[in-house]
Chain A
Amino acid sequence: MTLAALELARDEGRIAPFPADQSPLVIRELTVSYGDKPAVFSLDAAIEPESMTAIVGPNGAGKSTLLKAALGIVPRLSGRILVFGQPISQSMHRIAYVPQRASVDWDFPTRVIDVVLMGLYRELGFLRPVRRHHRERALACLDRVGMADFATRQIGQLSGGQQQRVFLARALAQNAELYLLDEPLAGVDAATEKAVIDVLKTLKVEHRTVVCVHHDLATVGDYFDNVLLINGRKIAEGPVTTTFTAENLQKTYGGRLATAHIDELKLPAAS
């Protein structure tokens, strides 16, 4: 289904919303530290349901750490994480995670379709055999990111953008309600950027929630509804139109972002 068709279906109420009406992700007073250096300090945030949120901040601002802490895969020093109103241990199956592409060894002996099938691990478990309908679902996910023709390729043969799409397909296979993506658009080609954003938009139409660590300030306004500006601490959160302002960006990046650069972004006027 195309994005437009999906949007029509949603507007006519043909896509059922998920039952939860709580916020998909609430973070309270989160502090995460590596050694004695806090990477994320006393951070509060709440993600709006069925929205697309960008987490934006300079290098080392704790963006990835924030995602990993929200998933419970890095230990927290303090704070609480609620996913759809429940502790992470009970709601992990409702989250899909797309790690940074560079975090894995792409020379691993596996094929594209096998990577996507990893997304079905919760269903397959240790021993259940991979049946044809599993494979077909994995292929459908690959098709959504335009990679169906690559299903039997070894993953080492893919370009960076194709690798990113395979990671996204694996997350689609998880069929989750909350999607956490770590820099899905970093270093990808234009075709992949478009494919990824289109898929993320369809996720939103399907009543799912998308949170992306995002590095490209120029596209925040085009792609996202909300923005969470952090630099260790939270600087600001809210709709892009009111929050993604020159003033807040200056606060987030400090002197690292030249004023001239901010001017180029055509931001909404500071309110």
Chain B
Amino acid sequence: MFAPFLDALLLQAGYNAGLVTVGAALLGIAGGSGGTFLFLRKRSLVSDGMAHATLPGVGLAFMVMVALGGDGRSLPGLLLGSALSATLGLLAIEWIVSRTRLAEDAAIGAVLSVFFGFGIVLLTIIQTMSGGYQAGLEGFLLGSTAGMLFQDALLIAIGGGLIVGLVFVLRRPMTLVAFDTEFAAAAGIGVRRIDLAMMGLVMAVTVIGLKLVGLILVVAMLIIPPVTARLWTERTERVVLVGGAFGGVSGYVGAALSASAPNLPTGPIIVLVAFALFACSLLFAPGRGVLAAVIRHRRFQWQVHRRQGLLALAREEPILDPLTLSVLRKEGLIRQDAVVSEKGRAAAAKALLDERRWAIARQRSEDGSLDSHWDGLTPIESVLTHDEIAEIDRQIGPPAAVR
């Protein structure tokens, strides 16, 4: 298992496998970067509607090409048909949203299912058409890499390159529109044109991804990498870069995995790899990851209990909360028998003094600007200067000893 996978990773698993692997990586980069703005604009699901809307175009293009006496399986022809029908699907969604009271999710659901249903009908008709064509069009549903040609890979490479280039050129207006549509319009950006361009990018990714991952799963290439990237960074341009990188890695590793063993479908494996990256990121990303959030919460809880415990000690109130007691014990502020330690005495006195300092500081600040820091946890030293604190201390007088 491992040796063939390594071969595939190093593009040594044969000509076809190599083409597929490189193509999948390029598609992943294009999908990850192009899908970022769709995700930030909160319109990810439109891509699902568009992807499903490609199917009737594929069927009709095949029929037209056969009727004209050509080879119905010519990939550029089929992709052109799919692009036209995806555009029609997008326009249908936008028309429903703007002209009726239906929300976008309902419009997407309606368009997606109708177009897909119609596409399936066309595929069924094609299969029973005279001449017994072995069209293999159903490969567009989940992707098929068996008959991948050099031209197909080239198509993906050129399309992917164009997509990445357009993302670079349009990144600023797309960011503005995604963040603040009204401001973007007021700053002179044609919001509708930028939205259409963004959808054009999405359509391009969908169309070049049809052959490799298929129309049902191509949305994963647009959605999962940006969502994963968002977990790692707080800056739009980095979401684009990292999203492209995650997409590329998913495509490359996924295609190599599927080439390393017989009967592993390429598209679904790529999606599973993308998901694995997402799952790891969700758990382990610093800042937005689940683990980081748990640690942050625990640390915060610890500080709150420590603070409350110290104040209770200083005021000689009984401490009943078992967690507070355990925190104080672990920090060595009280002994096992709940008697205050020497260190605890000092810390409690400091906590009480800081409370008094805060009270005076807040009284003195007229505009309430200190209030946002007065959460009981922010050290007063981080808000006021040494001199200001000394000034407050003179007003308080000598510290009272804590017994």
Contacts and interface: CB of A to CB of B under 8 A. Distances in A.
Interface of A: 68, 71-73, 92-93, 95-97, 99, 103-105, 108-111, 114-115, 118-119, 121-122, 124-127, 154, 156, 159, 170, 174, 189-191, 194
A121 B186 contact: no
B182 A73 contact: yes
A130 to B, nearest CB: 10
Contact of B180 (A104, A109, A174, A190): A104
A73 B182 CA distance: 7
Contacts of A174: 187
Given A71-B186, A93-B188, A127 B169 contact: yes
B207 interface: no
B367 interface: yes
Contact of A110 (B183, B235, B367): B235
The DSSP consensus for interface residues of chain B is helix
Contacts of B371: 189
Given A92-B186, A109-B40, A110-B236, A103 B170 contact: no
Contact of B235 (A68, A103, A109, A189): A109
How many chain B residues sit at the interface, stated as a range, is 20 to 34
B230 to A, nearest CB: 6
B186 A111 contact: no
B175 to A, nearest CB: 8
21 contacts: A71-B186, A92-B188, A93-B188, A96-B186, A97-B182, A97-B183, A97-B187, A99-B182, A103-B182, A109-B230, A109-B233, A109-B234, A110-B179, A110-B234, A118-B183, A122-B187, A126-B173, A156-B234, A190-B368, A191-B368, A194-B367
Contacts of B178: 108
B236 A121 contact: no
B282 interface: no
Interface in B149-190: 169-170, 172-173, 175-176, 178-180, 182-183, 185-189
Given A97-B182, A110-B179, A126-B169, 13 more contacts: A93-B188, A99-B186, A103-B180, A109-B40, A109-B234, A109-B235, A110-B235, A122-B188, A126-B170, A156-B234, A159-B372, A189-B369, A191-B369
